[in-house]
Amino acid sequence: MNKVQSAKSPTAKSPTANIRLSVWEPRWPQQCACCCGTNDTTIEIEIKETDEDGDILYQRNWEVPSCNHCKLHVGLAQSLTFNTFLGPNPSLGSLIAVIVSLFFCGVFNSSLPLIVTIVVILALLARYYWRGVQKAKKVIKAECCCAGPAVVGLSHHEFRGEMHTFRFNNAQYAEAFKQLNNAHAPPKFAS
């Protein structure tokens, strides 16, 4: 079954569209999903569902066409959310800093080291984030639809076969995707 269902038709006034598809392997238009320019690389997107224990119940990855320029600004945008000045795991870096400051709180019998540590961590995170935003703004082109990924995998459903939901931040690319995958209006069903 090769059928795509659009939850919302993209228009010039609506930059995003949700597309539901019931194909195992969607066909991607061979142009950059962000700027609609010539694609010369891909960006991997994923749909991953886990149970309450964190065990993976479902996982699928797709390679979405991109140009090198857009792949760079998407990487910068993602690094702002996943990495910080404190290292690849900001939670661990922050936790270590707080533990060290708690030690000094006990040594000096004062909460001042903890307060200073928290202020310094927040200042470093704000500085890192601001510099990353400025770097991303320099890289993004006028044709780009957004700083982050142009296509995001949202969810997986079992409905007359495999159905995957994607969010497109570029209405022009979403329309090309719909046409390539023979899109039509979605049926009425409870989700």
**For residue range 136-183, what is the model confidence (pLDDT) as tens digits?**
777 788 899 888 889 988 877 776 667 778 888 898 998 899 888 875
With 0-12 / 13-18 / 19 or more C-beta atoms within 10 angstroms meaning exposed / middle / buried, residue 144 is buried
| Region class of 64: left (phi > 0), else alpha (psi between -120 and 50), else beta | beta
What tens digit of pLDDT does each residue of 96-145 get? 777 777 777 777 787 887 788 788 777 777 777 777 777 777 778 889 98
Specify the pairing of strand 151-158 against strand 56-66: unpaired
Q: How far is CA 133 from CA 43, 79, 80, 163, in A?
A: 20, 10, 8, 35
- Domain coordinates in residue numbering, the chain: 79-139
